[in-house]
Structure 1
């Protein structure tokens, strides 16, 4: 019998397994994906490392990226993030310097413009370094942790002394079971929870327009930091900038059967650009996952039209209320880094999102103290998906004793840093609990 079985080898599961390993626990990790070395570019979420294999951007903040601070408190959350960073550095993350987005002058100017700055410390590993770190973590874990890749858990049954898990070829016994499947395991987890008599709650969905503009426009704001994160408290909810990429490009992102505009950091490219891009996300909440997915498909799917179609529009055209024509993009001062279909976002995007976008851009011009170029480009629509919230205790235990949910699949965390912190926290709790039992 294993002490702990972790279902999911993403960041949350890895950090939990590492903590348990260092305290002599017997650990089994099961993942539907492949080992790190066998993962392909298309396997974005499944396999060892999960989404941590991408750009490896760790935002150490209690203010965004999840509601971990609401569960554990701000001080504890930030302390856990320090531990996350220390563990990453132990495996090579200190090859890149961390940076802070804190800037008192910028914060003051933003407030005067009707915006707020969200401060964070960032350790941006990049894809290649992130993979090297994960490779070392995988090697360290393999010495003491049992892995089963390309394996799906069919059933989980509660027993007197723990749980019985069955897969296609094997059966495992475990004192405790931890869901760490991320957003990608939502459907599987929903089925398991229904069988176990557990119910998930509301689901969040963020939709947003990706903005591509001249990098020089932000240069005065970014003198002391690589990026900034701005929030606008609109009547429809707080809109937040996401994934700011100075000198970066826009690429296509495939998720949930949908195609969306996404940002790519200049470090992931052979050469940078003269543009800067980011998404302005507006959150929505739905009673169920099905409702959230249906709404996303109704907006983004309609834009895609069964293809990889993404719509782009010049800011001047949006403000004038007419479509961008193909010849206008050829002559556009801001050169598009993504091949997209010229059109009219007013006809493609919910009115609320257009209203909030225009209100935000007005305030951004106030902050920048200069009008935005009329050639600024707007791409629709980006999406950020979340797992439904699952009721858990302060230590991530569900209503079924011995069954836990951490990371993004819990609905509590929405980022690499908070997912990793939740794994560390649960690992510390379980090892302390075991120590007490053994005494």
Structure 2
């Protein structure tokens, strides 16, 4: 019998488990994917993905194995501050960073995007500058840190990989988990499956009569422009996150990569343009890329996924097709041709089909992008180069918001859900913070129960 079983071994799970090793509770982690050193995918080598369970998304450390960018902010990355309070979230994120540094993150300096002068200028241009402190680990260092954490956890808690959970039930005060590796019993269960485990989580919530709420979906155009055009606002902050309001909808820049490149992202059975920081490659480019994401909310996960599949799936056309268009051509109402692209001063870092985004993407997203770029021109004090490239279309997916109390406990006593699986956090830092928060609660709960039995 385990005291706590954590399903999933992503960032929220790791920080929860590490907090719990300070107690006397018996902890089990069940993971669908593989250990860190075994997490490989053909996509990492420029090949096709033939994974039965893709190592890019599943396995120990989850998406923390990717760029390892920890944004310590209450302004974006989730709504955890609304649940635990802003002051508490700041404290939790300090604890997240301290733990990362304990395992090697202090070899990279944390930087801040705070710049009061720029923030005031952005406001004057009808833009809002969202600020944060950042510990950007990069894939290699992130992998090393989480491997060190694994070594510690493996000596303190039971961790099982390549687990297929076939059935999960609660009878009396005990959860019974039937898997391909046998049966496990636990007093408490924590769902920490991240965004990648959404379909599985939906099925479990239905079976256990746990209510799921609305689902958020962000879509937006990925922009690739001359890095020097934004250098004036990036010199002191490295990454500037800007928000733009149009028709009561707030769109936000995401994953800004100075001197980086654009790569294909495979998610939810769809292919999208994604940014890769220059730190992930030996050579830098003269370009900069980011996505302007616009949020939309749907009554259910199914409706959100159908909407995304209709738009992105039509672009993909049963392949890995992505469409790119010059800004000048979009403004001029003309398609981009291969001849125009060959003469373009900004060379695309992603091989994509030249075309006309007005025939591929809902006008709503293009209208917002043009409005944002107009304000960005005012902000930087120069015209955005018409050779700027626009890629359609990027997507950021979220889990449905699951109804929980202040301690992440669902309506089923003893069942908790944390991290991005909860629909409350949308970032590595807030997911990790939710793990520490629940760990502290469960540790205090155990202490209280021990005192009662004495």
TM-score range, shorter chain: over 0.9
Count of residues in correspondence between the two structures: 439
- 2:155 pairs with 1:149: no
Q: State the Cα distance separating 1:168 from its structure 2 match.
A: 2.0
Whether 1:381 and 2:389 are equivalent positions in the alignment is: no
Do the aligned residues in 1 keep the contact of 2:163 with 2:181 (CA within 8 Å)? no
Alignment partner of 1:7 is 2:7: yes
Secondary structure of 1:301's counterpart equals: helix
Match of 2:338 in 1: 326
SS of 1:70's equivalent in the other structure is: helix
Residues 18-417 of structure 1 aligned to structure 2 (within 5 Å)? 18-41=18-41, 42-235=54-247, 237-417=249-429
Q: Which of 415, 433, 437 is equivalent to 2:445? A: 433
Q: Is the 8 A contact 1:236 1:352 kept in 2?
A: no
SS at match of 1:22: coil
CA RMSD, aligned part only? 0.8
* In structure 1, distance between residues paired with 2:246 and 2:254: 16
Are 1:418 and 2:430 an aligned pair? Answer: yes
Query: CA-to-partner distance for each residue in 1:16-72, whole Å, 9 max, x for gaps?
Result: 011001223210000100011111035111110000000100000011111101111
Distance in 2 separating the partners of 1:133 and 1:149: 19
Separation (CA, whole Å) in 1 of partners of 2:209 and 2:33: 27
Q: Is the 8 A contact 2:217 2:397 kept in 1?
A: yes
- CA displacement at 1:178 relative to structure 2: 0.2
Partners of 1:168 and 1:261 in 2: CA distance: 36
Any runs of at least 4 consecutive aligned residues in structure 1 with deviations exceeding 4 A, and if so which? none
1:399 deviation in Å?
A: 0.3
Asked whether the equivalents of residues 112 and 133 of structure 2 are also in contact (C-alpha less than 8 Å), the reply is yes
Q: Deviations over 1:157-205 (max 9, x none)?
A: 1122321111123111111000000111111111111111112110000
Structure 1 gap ranges (5+): none
How many Å separate the matches in 1 of 2:274 and 2:448?
Answer: 47
Task: Decide whether the 8 Å contact of 2:168 with 2:176 is kept in 1.
Answer: yes
Note the alpha carbon deviations across 1:394-429, whole angstroms, 9 max, x for none: 000000010000001111011100100000000000
Of 42-51 and 177-186, more deviation after overlay is shown by 42-51
Secondary structure of the residue aligned to 1:219 is helix
Q: Which runs of no fewer than 5 residues in structure 2 stay unpaired?
A: 42-53
Superposed displacement of residue 279, structure 1 = 0.3
- Specify the SS of the correspondent of 1:209: strand
Alpha-carbon distance between aligned partners in 2 of 1:210 and 1:162, rounded to the nearest angstrom: 48
Displacement after TM superposition at 1:236 (Å): 5.2
Deviation per residue, 1:297-349 (Å, 9 max, x gap): 00000001011110001111111111011111111111111111111111111
- Looking at structure 2, the residues matched to 85 and 152 of structure 1 have their Cα atoms a distance apart, in angstroms, of 32
Structure 1 length-normalised TM: 0.99
Q: Give the Cα–Cα distance (whole angstroms) in 1 for the partners of residues 180 and 39 of structure 2.
A: 22
Q: In structure 2, how many angstroms separate the alpha carbons of the residues matched to 1:379 and 1:153?
A: 39
The TM-score, its normalising length taken from structure 2, stands at: 0.96
